[in-house]
A and B are shown apart, each in its own frame.
Chain A
Amino acid sequence: MQKDIRRLSFILLFAPFALWILLLIILPHMGMVILSLREKVAPRVYEFSFANYIDFMQEPIYWNTLLRTGSMSLLVTALALLIGFPIAYYIAKIAGKRSKGALFLLCLIPLWVSDLIRAFGWILLLRETGVVSSTLQWSGLASEPVEFLYNDATVVMGLVYTVILFMIVPLVSTMDGMDDAMIEAGYNLGGNGPTVLRRIIIPYAMPGIVSGCIVVFMLTAGSYLTPILLGGKNSSWFTEQIYEQFISRYNWESGAAFGFLLLFFTSFVVWLGLKLSGQTLSSTVAKS
């Protein structure tokens, strides 16, 4: 009797989980991979082949875009870590009790504002007739309108802006748990600032760093809005290629292949990062 109840409640709890993961994650991804392995040989006739992947390899624009997306995403991740780490440390360890909560809240609010609005804000600031350009002209630093949009530097800046909070928030929550006495001990044992940072603070913050980097990298590589809006129609971002194959060309087979390649590529980078840092997915992102 008792055993039956337990079994029943397990089934009832497991069913929603299984349906969700199976129907919305596993089957769709398998479907995508299968679709990517089909080649249209005649109208409504398909054959199993690697043609879509071969096309990808033979067209330098495609794989250049993927490599470009990947390397720029890594750059954005590194910048977000470099810029965000001191901020997170300040919030977690230096700020007083009251200002700590306020600063953390200030960090959370932009998180709830859509990417679209944030990118829109940057457009208003940076375009030729935008606020920065007008201010520069008004102050006499520039004699004519300056266009800041549609270059790589702006895209990187915009992406760092969009994702940096996903770096800061896990870092703050990890470093919050660190005992100040550990830092104190480091100094008492004769360490200076950089040594304490390198041997105590960074190792302690490692799960936060890795989890922040994974989320930031995935968000950047998979982002669509910021590169398009700040980089213009020719920003050469990989998600844009996927969109074009799917919506503009209606070539779903090759779009599915592109999607799988992006997934494979980003998962590979994340896997590599986890191996190199000696962390696991369940010890970082999944930690709750």
Chain B
Amino acid sequence: MAQRRNPAFLFGYRLYVAAFFLFLAAPLVAAGTFAFNDSLFPALPWQGFTLDWFFNDTEPKLGMFHDRRLLRGLYYSFVIATMVSLLSVFVGTCNAFLFVRVQFPYKNFFYILMVLPLVIPGVILGISILVLASTVANGVEETFNYEIEFLRPGISLVVLGQFSFITTITSLVITARLRKFDETMEEAAFNLGASRARVLRTVTLPFLWPAMFAAGIVAFLVSFENFNTTLFLVGSEAPLTITMFDRMVKVGSTPVLNAVSFFLMVGSAALALLSILVQRDKTAT
């Protein structure tokens, strides 16, 4: 199509693409910029540049690095995201080997089951896990008079909820990489007398490692920004997105939320870039 287009059409097309990227960037720029506005409200007019919303330690302009609640939210998000990525990369790697290497009955059916969590709305994952966990916890409490702490809303339940669908993402990423693996390399290693464990350690896993790392970063980012599933499973230890949402709805926004947004945007961009670099380097060699 490109080859036959007249210049006017192509110009219009380019304009459309440019307008689209402007649309894409607008709210992000808005959310980031007001973090540096020396005003109590994230709105125009521009009152001059300031870093107070990051570093100031007194009210009313309490910066994000001195805001206890926001920092605590950040900490919980970090803990949750780390646990979710470790768990989901582990299960994702097992799934990759299971679906690429092993032949077993009803494989296609199980593969669809594996993909399914990706297309279940997050809210429903959240409530269904909440319902099951509470039922079990209540049952145990009534019969044995013992309280299972980790089945009550809180960090552990949030981890389980996010893990339930993020594992699908890591599985797909790692499976794609394992499919590209040349199995003759393993055979060569066996012929040279290596044991099963040794082949896994020296041949297969090094090949898979960039994908596992990238999948871990993706899992970390998705977990960090998740809201829908987390909303129903959260206890008193609220992660950052929930803390921010509460503040947005109840207290009204001050530029400290912009500061957090800016911080998160820079952080996600850096991590995303890192995952791209790791994957690219290894495929080139």
Contacts and interface: CB of A to CB of B under 8 A. Distances in A.
Nearest to A267: B119
B132 interface: yes
A154 interface: no
A107 B17 CA distance: 12
B251 interface: no
Interface secondary structure of B, over-half rule: helix
B244 interface: yes
B128 A94 contact: no
Interface secondary structure of A, over-half rule: helix
B20 to A, nearest CB: 5
A27 B132 contact: yes
Interface string B70-95: 00000000000000000000110011
A112 B268 contact: yes
A262 interface: yes
Contacts of A207: none
Contact of A263 (B13, B121, B160): B121
B28 A193 contact: no
A130 B33 CA distance: 13
Contacts of B173: 288
A219 to B, nearest CB: 8
Nearest to B262: A117
Contacts of B5: 193
Given A112-B221, A129-B41, A16 B123 contact: no
A282 B112 contact: yes
Question: A13, A122, A242, A252: which has the most chain B beta carbons within 10 Å?
Answer: A13
Contacts of A32: 124, 127-128, 131-132
B127 A117 contact: no
Contacts of A120: 27, 31, 244, 248, 253, 257-258, 261
A66 to B, nearest CB: 13
Contacts of A203: none
B28 A121 contact: yes
Interface in B128-187: 128-132, 135, 160, 163-164, 167, 172-173, 175-176, 179
Contact of A121 (B30, B175, B232, B241): B30
A286 B111 contact: yes
Nearest to A18: B110
B8 interface: no
B3 interface: yes
Contacts of A131: 30, 43-44
B43 A113 contact: no
Contact of B123 (A29, A105, A229, A239): A239
Contacts of B269: 109, 112
A117 B117 contact: no
Contact of A24 (B23, B160, B227): B160
Contacts of A242: 123, 127
B184 to A, nearest CB: 20
A83 B20 CA distance: 9
Given A10-B104, A124-B42, A282-B112, A225 B227 contact: yes
21 contacts: A13-B97, A13-B98, A20-B91, A20-B167, A94-B2, A106-B24, A113-B265, A124-B34, A129-B43, A135-B44, A193-B1, A214-B119, A239-B228, A247-B232, A259-B124, A263-B121, A281-B112, A282-B112, A285-B119, A288-B173, A288-B176
Interface of A: 5, 9-10, 12-14, 16-17, 20-21, 24-25, 27-29, 31-32, 35, 83, 86-87, 89-90, 93-94, 103, 105-110, 112-125, 129-131, 134-135, 161, 183-184, 187, 193, 196-197, 201, 214-215, 218-219, 221-225, 228-229, 239, 242-243, 246-247, 252, 255-256, 259, 262-263, 266, 270, 281-282, 285-286, 288
